[in-house]
Amino acid sequence: MSEPPGSDLNPAAAVSLRGISKFFDDVTAVDHVDLEIGDGEFFALLGPSGCGKTTTLRMIGGLEIPSEGSLRIFGDEVGPLPPNKRPVNTVFQNYALFPHMSVADNVAFGLRMRKVDRAETASRVAQAISLVRMAGMENRRPAQLSGGQQQRVALARALVNRPKVLLLDEPLAALDLKLRQEMQFELKQLQREVGITFVFVTHDQEEALALSDRIGVMNEGRLLQVGTPEEMYDAPVDRFVADFIGRSNFLAGTLEDVSTVCLANGTRIRVPAVDAEIAAPGSAIQVSLRPERVMIADESAAPEGAASLSGRVSAVTFLGNSIVYHVGLDWMTVEVETDHRPDLRRHAVGDDVVLWWRDDAIAVVRP
Amino acid sequence: MSDATLEQSRRALGEAERQRERSERRRGFILALPSFAYMVIFFAIPLVIVLVYSFATRTSTGSTALSDWNLDAYRKLGEPIVRNVVVRSVILALITTLVCLVVAYPFAWFCATRSALTRNLLLVAVMIPFWTNFLVRNYAWRILLSAGGPISSFTEAIGLGETNILFTKTAVVIGLVYAYLPFMILPLYASIDRLDRRLVEASSDLYASGPQTFRRVVLPLTMPGVIAGSILVFVPSMGAYVTPELLGGGKETLLGSYIVTQFLTARNWPVGASLSFVLMAVMLVSTIIYFRSGGKNL
């Protein structure tokens, strides 16, 4: 999690937000966000629509002014500066290419506004256009381009200015699935090539997992957790995060001490040591259990020593590469996903089974 | 099914489709008939009459003889006196258009960026004077602009002395701007409303200042509204008659009053008709050219 508020600013951070909030009339769009994004990082702000991720991005880009807090880009306070006075550029959702200008004029726009001389403009524009593999299309109008091509032009138009930070607002949302996967790959490649810090906003968890070095999950204006894709998946600290990234079972319980949870049915289980920031001993928590991390076996085959739960299979769903079992316990239903392999025992509806897991398969989350 | 029956059913279906198309065309024509008839009776036929009269002959008594068809009236349009009237009218119409544009653009921008309720109220406010009698509005301006009127009293009160704008070119421009401003505001509003706000943000993100964004992005993209509004203001300003008469005192002859004079005072119908027709043709052609080219760019 983020450091406690008031800790010193990291001067190496590309973008640093301290206590940033944004209010629209009486609506709190962004609520005291603390965040540091490192130089050269590919960072994703992930969350459902209306969670404040786009507003956060717009504040970094200068399209919104924060209501409170401090916003720095490479150490310089930029909170109140307009967009044209910041070393960042944005790739807009739906690209916002200028429809009355050619591809080349679109890409050259930023350089012309900053009065970069003609020869340099021409060479940088050509370079940017070839970087996004749009050479030969310089004289087309945006309307004559496909969605993927417009996307590339929007990238070139931003990158040509050599921003210190590139902001991308749902950059792939307007593309169809196949193109989106291609562009994901290209975007990642491009970021490695130019070495610029990328901050992008998405509601697509798969996209966030696939592209980013680190992810920040937002909900209702608050930044819930920041971490690498693996951390976010394996060790979520908030029920919302565990639910939004991947699928999960949530078992209610009470934290007895730092590494013991008493589940609602009285079963005691061991858990990885719980940070005091997430929950104090004695408080009500939830345990997140990924379906594919739960083991399932006939009742007679229960392992020795490990905590286990017994139940009865209530539904079986065949998904090709995997099988999903719904197992009814007395007090809740647990989803279990196993590989579809001939050597694995296949359970049927009505079978009595036991479920168990490795201690490190679970995460204690804020309810 | 055998080939023969297949062929038969195909033919029957083709016939049914043709019949449906025919009846749809007929229905469209019937629906358009009333407005079509109206345009023919009250626009096309009078226009033809004007055209016919422009080739007629003025007799020595001032009546018009529909014989000896000639181009004398058109030749007369090249004379300096007519040319001066045309130049004066064009300049006045240009000034009116320009003032309308400068006044309307910020207002239309303001309107288009408000909430739905506010913008509707503002647009209704724009239209209200429009529903008031044209003559009444012109006489109202006469009172406002006259030597002892409110504007004059105001300038006197703040120590600028008496103003007497009535019966000047300024008064005519004020009256025309007032009369035709809605024609400028509405198309501008429509094109600004259609402008994607994200393009403005993108421009600002790409280091453009406010004025640069306006010149490079906003103005080019709202140009269709600028041109449409300008045509809608320029055309009636060119032929305006009542306002120049009432507010300009008819001191300087403009196209409208010149044409009226030709018909009523000089009793030279062919010249009045030819001038009317040329004016109309120039406006029609320029409007058509605009909408043709505008249609492609948008």
Say yes or no: B216 contacts chain A, CB-CB below 8 A.
yes
pLDDT in tens, B87-113: 999 999 999 999 999 999 999 999 999
CB-closest option in A84, A97, A99 to B208: A84
Residue B68 lies in a domain: no
What is the average pLDDT value for chain A, to the nearest integer?
91
pLDDT at residue A5 in the model: 43
3-class secondary structure, B109: helix
**Residue A356 distance to chain B (closest CA, Å):** 52
Distance in angstroms (rounded) separating the CA atoms of residues A172 and A210? 13
pLDDT in tens, A94-149: 899 999 999 999 999 999 999 999 999 999 999 999 999 899 999 999 999 998 89
The span from the first CA to the last CA of chain A, in angstroms, equals 17
Q: Burial, A3: exposed, middle or buried (Cβ in 10 Å; 0-12, 13-18, 19+)?
A: exposed
- Provide mean pLDDT across the span B211-215: 96
B124 and B225 share a domain?
yes
Residue B286 lies in a domain: yes
B147 close to B164: Cβ distance less than 8 angstroms: yes
Residues with Cβ within 8 Å of B127's Cβ and at least 6 positions away in sequence, in order, are B182
Confidence of residue A10 (pLDDT cuts 50, 70, 90): low
pLDDT at residue A277 in the model: 84
B32 and B103 share a domain?
no
pTM for the structure as a whole: 0.81
CA torsion sign for B163, B168, B172, B173 is negative
On the question of pLDDT at A170 being above 70, the answer is yes
Pick from A336, A354, A337: nearest CA to A298: A354
B206 and B126 share a domain?
yes
CATH code where residue B252 lies: 1.10.3720.10
Of the listed ranges A3-7, A223-227, B128-132, the one predicted with least confidence: A3-7
Residue B145 lies in a domain: yes
CB-closest option in A96, A99, A157 to B201: A96
What DSSP letter does each residue of A298-317 carry, written as one string? Answer: EGGGPPSSS-EEEEEEEEEE
A154 close to A147: Cβ distance less than 8 angstroms: no
Pick from B283, B271, B189: nearest CA to B236: B283
> What residues of chain B lie within 8 A of the CB of A100, using their CB?
220-221
B126 and B235 share a domain?
yes
Confidence of residue A2 (pLDDT cuts 50, 70, 90): very low
> What residues of chain A lie within 8 A of the CB of B204, using their CB?
62-63, 82-84
Confidence of residue B298 (pLDDT cuts 50, 70, 90): very low
Where in the sequence is the domain holding B249, given as residue range(s)? 76-292
pLDDT in tens, A236-254: 999 999 999 999 999 999 9
B24 and B141 share a domain?
no
B27 and B158 share a domain?
no
On the question of pLDDT at A4 being above 70, the answer is no
Question: Total structural domains in chain B?
Answer: 2
Residues with Cβ within 8 Å of A7's Cβ and at least 6 positions away in sequence, in order, are none
Q: Tell me if B205 and A90 make a contact (CB, 8 A cut-off).
A: yes
Residue of B nearest to A141 (CA): B297
B152 and B13 share a domain?
no
B43 and B80 share a domain?
no
pLDDT at residue A117 in the model: 95
pLDDT at residue B297 in the model: 43
Confidence of residue A276 (pLDDT cuts 50, 70, 90): confident
What is the average pLDDT value for chain B, to the nearest integer?
89
What DSSP letter does each residue of A169-206 carry, written as one string? Answer: ESTTTTS-HHHHHHHHHHHHHHHHHH--EEEEEES-HH
pLDDT at residue A121 in the model: 96
On the question of pLDDT at A6 being above 70, the answer is no
Say yes or no: A62 contacts chain B, CB-CB below 8 A.
yes
